[in-house]
Amino acid sequence: MEANLNTSSSHSETPNSAVVHSATKTGFLNFSRPDWTQYFTEKKIPGFRSTQAADWIFKHFVTSPDQMSNVSKDLRADLAQDFDWTLPEIVSALNSKDGSTKLLLKTPTGQYIESVILRYEGRVSLCVSSQVGCKMACSFCQTGKLGFFRHLTTHEIIAQYLIAARIVREEGRRLSHVVFMGMGEPLDNYDNVVKSVNMLVSPDGFGLSARHVTVSTSGVVPKIRDLAKDARCALAVSLHAARDDLRQEIMPINRKWPLSELKSALLDYQRETGDKITFEYILIREKNCGLREAKDLMKFLHGFKAKVNLIPFNAHPGMPYDRPSDDEIRAFQVYLADRSIAAPVRYSKGLDVSGACGQLAAKTEESIHLAPARKNVVAGKTPNVLA
């Protein structure tokens, strides 16, 4: 399928009065700190009061004006009146044996998205979705099979962070990393993703380190160049093949932006930011992990400061691919290591709880479309942290 790409342009940490004055209420998480400052300035509310109110959101993760205990009753009433405080509903929270938690969320428009909390020894990371479904139709991806429904708003993207941050806080830990590797192509929803990234990394937003927020793209070439100027974050690229005929078989986006154009944009990105780029490479048996493909990859990587994550394909029903043997994985890795390319093997987390991207939402959509009476079949334990 030819990727049908919307490539509108952006920017992020500037106040957004169009949002303030829209006819319908805007989600409170659509507002960056400068947006809040403008809102309070227009209401002639003194600076320290506006700082207090915004701190409740960015520092204390409140989900309602009622929780802003040192804010006046009148101002809380204004905030309740002027903004939409609805968050996506947690339909299920499935805990994996490996310590990850897969959240299935239902948007107010009745669509399903997924976020995954990934717990490691020294950090906790969140994988967020940027769209409901996806246009890119990558052949190994469950979300790609769903098709595209719509972009998520900034509010819906940041809500995933807020919901997970509250869960993690209950455990006495801090949600320190965010990866845009859930459902959707982040750079196809450019404006909302860039605004979200800037809110996450801004010191007067959620204050995460820019190195700890990663945007992963399948290769939306024009937006890669824009991203270098518009956001501070890390960049990962889903490569999966370094030869055009093979890559376009696996990833249809390669027909629109072939490898030569992708490489040129990435080299520009690297020149502009000075950052190392991470390449994600799913290893698929008898498809992209032989000696020829390893040589193609080395050729493509020439000129980059790069790291490659090797991810053995996780075989699951309905997918035409298999996982390579351990020997094949090792041989591919050694070929790269012998040529000074760091290529750790990463194993997908949460496989026992439908860990592949889009698997849970696809299951849920299927259960709704095929058997309406089974709508709640995936419902599990829902953490009560939003009260």
Applying CB under 6 A, which part among 14-22, 115-123, 181-189, 289-297 lies near ligand SF4?
A: 181-189
Site string for ligand SF4, 116-145 (x = CB under 6 A): ------------------x-xxx--x-xx-
Residue 141 known to be catalytic = no
Q: Does 288 participate in binding ligand SF4 (rule CB under 6 A)?
A: no
Is the Cβ of residue 127 or residue 159 nearer to ligand SF4 in the bound state? 127
Show the site string, 362-381: x = touches ligand SF4 by CB under 6 A, - = not: --------------------
5 belongs to the binding site for ligand SF4 (CB under 6 A):
no
**Minimum separation from the CB atom of position 220 to ligand SF4 (A):** 9
The residue annotated as part of the active site, out of 114, 156, 185, 280, is 114
When the beta carbons of 183 and 241 are compared against ligand SF4, the nearer one is: 183
Candidate list 170, 293, 357, 365, residue with the active-site label: 357
- Does 105 interact with ligand SF4 (rule: CB under 6 A)? no
Active site residue 114: yes
* Least distance CB 183 / ligand SF4 (angstroms): 6
Q: Binders of ligand SF4: how many residues, by CB under 6 A? A: 13
x/- mask, ligand SF4, residues 199-218, rule CB under 6 A, reads: -------------------x
Q: Does 254 bind ligand SF4 (CB under 6 A)?
A: no
Q: Residues with Cβ < 8 Å from 194, sequence gap 6 or more?
A: 10, 11, 12, 227, 230, 231
Under rule CB under 6 A, residue 185 binds ligand SF4: yes
* HSE toward the beta carbon, residue 177, CA cutoff 13 A: 17
What are the residues binding ligand SF4 (CB under 6 A)? 134, 136-138, 141, 143-144, 183-185, 218, 238, 357
- The set of catalytic residues is 114, 357
